[in-house]
Amino acid sequence: MLRSDPIKVKEILKHYKYEQSSLIHILQDIQVEYRYLPKETMLFVARELKIPLSRIYSVANFYNAFSLKPKGKHLISVCLGTACHVRGGKRIAEEVERTLNVKSGETTPDLEFTLETVNCLGACALGPVVVVDGHYYGQMTSLKMKKLLSSSKGGRGNGKNEKDNKS
Partner 1 sequence: MLRSDPLKITIDGIETEVEKETTILQLAKKLGIEIPTLCHHDAISTYGACRVCTVEVGIPRSGGGKRTRMVTACNYPIRDNGLNINTKSERVLAVRKMILELLLARCPGVKRIQDMAKEYEITESRFPIENPEEECILCGLCTRVCQEIIGKSAISLVGRGFERKVLTPFDEPSEDCIACGACAYVCPTGAIKIVQEDGKLTIKNWKTSRELAKCLECGEYVGSEAVLQYIKERVSLPEDIFKLCEKCRRKKLQKELITTGK
Which residues of the chain form contacts with partner 1 (CB under 8 A)?
Answer: 39, 42, 52-58, 61-62
Residue 155 Cβ vs partner 1, minimum distance, rounded to whole Å: 33
Closest residue by beta carbon to ligand FES: 81
Query: Coil, strand, or helix at residue 132?
Result: strand
Distances (CA, A) of 25 to 12, 102, 113, 143: 9, 30, 25, 39
Q: Where are the alpha helices (DSSP H) in 35-141?
A: 39-49, 53-62, 82-86, 89-100
Task: Choose, by CB under 6 A, the member of 38, 72, 81, 157 that binds ligand FES.
Answer: 81
Residue 120 contact among ligand FES, partner 1, none, beta carbon within 5 to 8 Å by kind: ligand FES
State the sign of the Cα–Cα–Cα–Cα dihedral 96, 102, 105, 110. negative
Would you say 123 is a known binding-site residue? no
Q: Is 82 in the site for ligand FES (CB under 6 A)?
A: yes
User: Checking DSSP bridges between strand 74-79 and strand 113-118, what pairing results, if any?
Assistant: parallel
Point out which span in 7-15, 33-41, 49-57, 118-126 binds ligand FES (CB under 6 A). 118-126
